[in-house]
Each structure stands twice: as C-alpha cells, then as structure tokens.
Structure 1
Amino acid sequence: MSTTDEPTANAESPDEGPAGAPISPDGAKQKKQKKHLPVWQETILLLGIALVLAILIKALFVQAFYIPSESMEPGLVKNDRILVEKPSYWFGGPERGDVVVFKDPGGWLNGEEAAGPTGTVAKALSKVGLYPTGGHLVKRVIGVAGDVIKCCDEQGRLTVNGQPLDEKDYARLGGADCYGPMVNDCSKDWEVGPIPDGQVFVMGDNRNNSADSSFHMCKPTDTDCTKNPYVDVDDVVGKVFVLLWPSDRFKILHRPDTFADVPDAD
C-alpha cells in the first residue's frame, strides 16, 4: 500500500474549470480584458467633465474678461483680454491700487459696453467662463472704507488720507482739458469721503476719459443729487492679475508701490 496521496476524483487540475472543463487561453484573456465605452460615449463624458470644471473654475477661481473702453489706458487697452482671480478676496476686500472687475452699479456702462459678447456661441461660452464676459467695468481702487480722497495737491496729485500718489508710471493724467465722457462734468478740485464701510472708490487710469467714481459724484452745484460714486464690495468680481491678449503685451499686473505709503484712515 502506497503512502503517496492520490488525487481525489473531484480535484481540479490547473487547466480545468469547476466542472473539469478545460479553460482555453483565449477565454482567460477575455476575462482579464476590461470593457471600454464606445468612443462617442467617452467623448460626451469628457466634454461633460470639462464643462463642469470650467463652471467651477469660473465660479471660484479665475474668469476671463475683456476691456470695454479706453478708460484704463495706457496699461489696458480697449478689447484687451484679461484674467481675473477671485481667491484674493475670499477673506478680505479689495486693497488700494488693485485693478478690479465689478458689476455695473447702475448706469455706469453705455449700451454697447453693457451688451457683452455677441453671437450665440460666444454668449454660451461666456456663461461657462470659456469666453471673455462683458457687462462689467474695470477700474483701479483708489480708496477703501474710511479713506478721504482729494484732488488735487499743488503738484496736481491725488491724495489719499493726506498722502499724495505718484501715478506717473501707470496713469494717463493728461492736461487740464477734459474729453470723452468727462467733457461736461469735469471738476479740477474735489474731495470725497470718508468712504462708507463695504464700499470702494475707483478711478480709471486714463483720468480724463473715464466715467468712474469721480464722474458719478455729486457736485456742489447739484440739487437733489442721488448719485452714488462708490462701488459695493459685493459687486467686485475679483482682481485683474494677467493681461492675456494680445500675446505681445502679455504681462502680470502688480499693485503700484505708491499705495503702500498711504496711511490707514483715522
């Protein structure tokens, strides 16, 4: 009698299935192969993912806009494409010197500027952040809550809380004559403030051709004036940080150093 164990009748050999049927090599490969979606389904899935990501990016992080007028020359020219980032204002408001994009407070844009993109495709793409959005304004923040702004000192400079701004590196200050939208409302000397909480005072870098906060102030000669020169912080979309197009003028925008010298409001 042998001591070697004999295989039982029910034992499966490596090449047999559960019932003793042989497994072909092709069958084993088929089991290992993963199922793939048809190309058209993969395409739709990828487009859906891209759309969701675009919407999230636009809502939370970065949005494209274009410059609607000449008011930010010389740095930003009409029809330039810019990128606006939003995280900077998640835990705080705009700072002096920031170039910001904001919703029209009401009547600041003319019909052409307020219209935004034309064409079905452009409008659809702008909704999801894949095409520059219109209907907004681009200006530089000059003052924040509590600030007092005066125009101008003996050298023709704006002052914020008594500190003059050196703006020759980024602003087109022009001469004494006004033109563009300022032609009927130019006032050489003015003062505004303290700026209310939750609001900012903005101006275009092209000072004599910008319908900005200084343009929407009540003048001493106005009666029953209801103008509001301020922009609500909640209407600010974000800070401009890149001039994207045209490519030969691509640049990263920075806050001018002159604003670092402005003291906090009393």
Structure 2
Amino acid sequence: MIDEQTKKPSSFWRELPVLLGVAIIVAVVVRAFVLQTFYIPSESMENTLLIKDRVLVNKLVYDFRSPHRGEVIVFEAPNSWRNDPSEEDFIKRVIAVGGDHVVCCDDKQRITINGTPLDETYVYTNPDGLQDLPSEEQFDVTVPKGRLWVMGDHRSRSGDSRYNFIRSKDPNQATIAEDNVVGRAFVVFWPFSRAKWLSVPDTFEKVPNPATG
C-alpha cells in the first residue's frame, strides 16, 4: 500500500519547477503581446499623468483597430524627437488621426479639428489656476494617412507633434506612424491614491470625420 501522506509532498516538489516554468512563460507572453506597465518620467502629460505615475498599457487593442482621437498612447518616438537616443518610448494624447485638418487657433484660442473646436479641459493647469495655452505657436496641417498627431497635456513642457511641426514644417516629421504605437494607456495603477481610468474626453465625440474627395 502506498502512503498518500508521503506521496503528495514529493509529487508537489517534482511539479513545482513545471508550474514555475509555465508561470514565467505566461508572464512573458502577456508582457510581450497583451499588457505592459510603463513609468512616467517627465512633466509632458501633467496633470493627467504625474512624474512617477505608473500606467497599464493594452498592447493588443490596436491589432484590431486604429487609435482613436483622445486616447492616451505609448509609442516608439522617431529619432528626431529624442533628446536622448535611449529615450525610446513616449506617452502622449492622440489629438488627430490620418486625414484630419488640425488648426491652431480659432478666435477663442482653441485647436480645431475638421473645423470643430476642442474644449481641452485636460490641458495642464498650474497651482495658481492658470491653464496652458493649447499652443503658443500657430499651425495649420493635414495629418497624413496612417499617421497620428499627438500632443502632451502639459503643452509648455511637451516635445510633441506641434513642437516638431513648428521646427520642421513637415507633416511627416511632426506625426507618428500608427505602426509605431505600442499600445493604449488605459489606467493609472500606481500610486494607489491616484488610481484612475484614462478615458477619452467628451469633446472628441463632436469631431467629424475628415472630408473626402
């Protein structure tokens, strides 16, 4: 007769390496293809995201659709955008998509997309209650197909599409390819006191699709 009390512990220790191996493989697959955490290193998305915040990024969603206006995305930055070549991943908000006509600014100092102004309540507000301008420089650009116009919420501290367009006057250098998008940042999970969903602001619902033809 086999003693069940001695069999179970020895069986567990034999199976443990297999279980650990499976857990590691699952974690690697999830990180590579489904979810990944990112650390916020700069002021460019304040006050939506603060330095040292950690966000969770869905890396799978854009395998099934293109990024939408208003979403916060992580992307591989073009070399011309980087102050440090090692700074590979940037995080910004999608303001306009391929075909959109983006203008700054209207008579009320608002960015317009396809003729519709944005009410950018998410743009950085300092401790004295003063909000950043949508842009300190004027621009008028149509976003090339398959590319995205992205901007930081802290406009005066963000090297983004607006900054790179003013510098280059080239819509391609000022935008990022959809293929360079790593995924959508959808939640702040750390610190716990700042945990929140990163939802799309309502103002983007009013923006019409670009005219065709």
Residue 36 of structure 1 deviates from its aligned partner by 4.2
Instruction: Name 2:138's counterpart in structure 1.
Output: 189
- C-alpha separation in 2, matches of 1:211 and 1:94: 20
Match of 1:140 among 75, 90, 93: 93
Residue 171, structure 1, aligned to residue 123, structure 2? yes
The TM-score normalised by the length of structure 1 is 0.69
Match of 2:159 among 201, 211, 214: 211
Residue 68, structure 1, aligned to residue 13, structure 2? no
Change in Cα spacing, 1:46 to 1:65, as seen in structure 2 (3 Å) is same
> Which whole-Å deviations, capped at 9, do the CAs of 1:124-150 have from their partners, x for residues lacking one?
xxxxxxxxxxx3100000110100101
Residue 56 of structure 1 deviates from its aligned partner by 1.2
- C-alpha separation in 1, matches of 2:185 and 2:20: 28
Change in Cα spacing, 1:238 to 1:226, as seen in structure 2 (3 Å) is closer
Match of 1:199 among 147, 152, 158: 147
Instruction: Name 1:108's counterpart in structure 2.
Output: 81
Letter in 2 for 1:162: G
Letter in 2 for 1:171: V
Contact 2:188 2:195 in 1 (8 A): yes
Match of 1:49 among 22, 35, 41: 22
- C-alpha separation in 1, matches of 2:108 and 2:171: 32
Contact 1:166 1:258 in 2 (8 A): yes
Residue 49 of structure 1 deviates from its aligned partner by 1.3
The ranges of structure 1 where at least 4 consecutive aligned residues each deviate by more than 4 angstroms after the TM superposition are 33-36
Contact 1:65 1:82 in 2 (8 A): yes
Contact 1:216 1:227 in 2 (8 A): no
Match of 1:151 among 104, 110, 120: 104
Residue 38 of structure 1 deviates from its aligned partner by 6.1
Contact 1:214 1:229 in 2 (8 A): yes
- C-alpha separation in 2, matches of 1:226 and 1:241: 27
The TM-score normalised by the length of structure 2 is 0.85
Contact 2:34 2:60 in 1 (8 A): yes
Contact 1:60 1:86 in 2 (8 A): yes
Change in Cα spacing, 1:74 to 1:34, as seen in structure 2 (3 Å) is closer
- Flag the structure with higher helix content: 2
- C-alpha separation in 2, matches of 1:247 and 1:112: 32
Instruction: Name 1:126's counterpart in structure 2.
Output: none
Change in Cα spacing, 1:74 to 1:35, as seen in structure 2 (3 Å) is closer
Instruction: Name 1:119's counterpart in structure 2.
Output: none
- C-alpha separation in 1, matches of 2:85 and 2:44: 15
Tell me, what secondary structure is at the counterpart of 1:68? Answer: coil
- Give the greater-gyration-radius structure (CA): 1
Tell me, what secondary structure is at the counterpart of 1:140? Answer: strand
- Flag the structure with higher strand content: 2
Structure 1: any 5+ residue segments left out of the alignment? 1-26, 115-134, 177-185
> Which whole-Å deviations, capped at 9, do the CAs of 1:5-37 have from their partners, x for residues lacking one?
xxxxxxxxxxxxxxxxxxxxxx2667xx67944
Letter in 2 for 1:174: D
Residue 157 of structure 1 deviates from its aligned partner by 0.7
Match of 2:202 among 248, 254, 257: 257
Number of residue equivalences: 203
- C-alpha separation in 1, matches of 2:188 and 2:8: 46
Identity %: 40
Structure 2: any 5+ residue segments left out of the alignment? 125-130
Q: CA RMSD in A?
A: 2.5
Residue 236, structure 1, aligned to residue 178, structure 2? no
